[in-house]
Structure 1
Amino acid sequence: MGPSPSFRRRSAVPVDLVLIVLLAASLAAAALPGAAAAEPTEANATTRHYVAPAIEVPLRTGQDTTYRIIALVPNGTPVEVLEEGDKWVRVRLPSGKEGWMPSRFVTTERPLRDVLTEVERERDRLGRRLKEERTLNAALKEELAKARKALAEAEKARDQAQKAYKTLAEDAKDVVALKNAYDESQSEVQKLRQRVAILEQKNQQLERDRFVSYFLAGGGVLLVGWLLGALGGRRKRRSRLEL
């Protein structure tokens, strides 16, 4: 069960502040020089310097407040240190203008606004990444659900196949006996077919013989009738002659 909305509202601000402080501290630590060195008369041009937090720092033509002000530099402005004195440094502004300002207003620490800007940029990047991760997570959950469904179907098919295999394994014991019975039945069928063919031939022969017998019997009857008729006619003629 997630935290209540009131807890989220109370905890959101401290978390952001902690994140900002941690990122600011890490960035500030990265910007600090690795080791302290003796102050040279000519500053290292590769080290980035900034105007320390103040309303505006006057840029003068010399190393004293009596010199003329040639510019008012806002805090956080990056400057290039050209020369370092006792309490003053000669710097070059991004516009190219050069002059002197108190060394206490020049620092190597990055301005807080730059740190905050970078923190906000990092926060936005993390927010976009979190959104992408959530989208990817949703897609993975959907894919996982499909995979689980496919797995369940595959397991069901496997169980059915295993059951069918067991049934076949049990029935396989009678396969040889069934094969022998089939072969015997097939042989018996062949024998019966041959016997049927022989009987059909005999039946056809009997039919032919019966037809011949009927034909001969009918012819004999006709012949006997003809003979009887002929003999009767002769007797009548003989009787007439005797009269």
Structure 2
Amino acid sequence: MNRGNCAAHLFLERAVLTAGPRRLFPLLVAAALLMPVLAVAENLFVSANIDVPVRRGAGEQYKIIKMVKVSDRAELIEEKNGWAKVRFQDGVDGWLPKLLLTPIAPPVEDIKKLRTENEQIQRKNSELSMELSALKEHQDGEGDKLAACISDQNAIKAERRAAEDAGKALWFLSGGGVLLLGWLLGRLSHSPQRKKSSLR
């Protein structure tokens, strides 16, 4: 309970003790009306490990008026549909999800350590992202080289097939030429004998 709440309780207590029977009833009515307000006001702390938006109203559709960090102290004013209206030490009132508030102050050293670890992880993640980009560029370069090698290989295969086809054609023509030459030689060698035999 904060200092303002203690003062209000002391005032009501003195008023009840010093009041007569006729003045006691209005004081009891006033006390009954003030008690829920006094009971609601309690100190809470932001417990999220990330910055939390404080909004103008109880819902995400309302405009963000400020951001608060873990362990920031706030005074609970009102609760509505899982949202809490709080007043921060700088005097700003706003709404945030009730589940992000805790009555126990978070251990600040652990939070600092977690923040440091989080920053290190983010730096490492950034370094790994850069390495991944470099590897992708290298892979793209190697892919281009591989495509060029495959293209060269296909060109060599095409040249080899063309050479094989030319070789087959040459063998075919050579064989045909030898056959023709043999036929001509055969014709020429038989022709004089016929002439000689016909002369006899």
Scaled to the shorter chain, the TM-score interval is 0.3 to 0.5
Rg larger for:
1
User: TM-score with structure 1 length normalisation?
Assistant: 0.37
TM-score (norm 2): 0.44
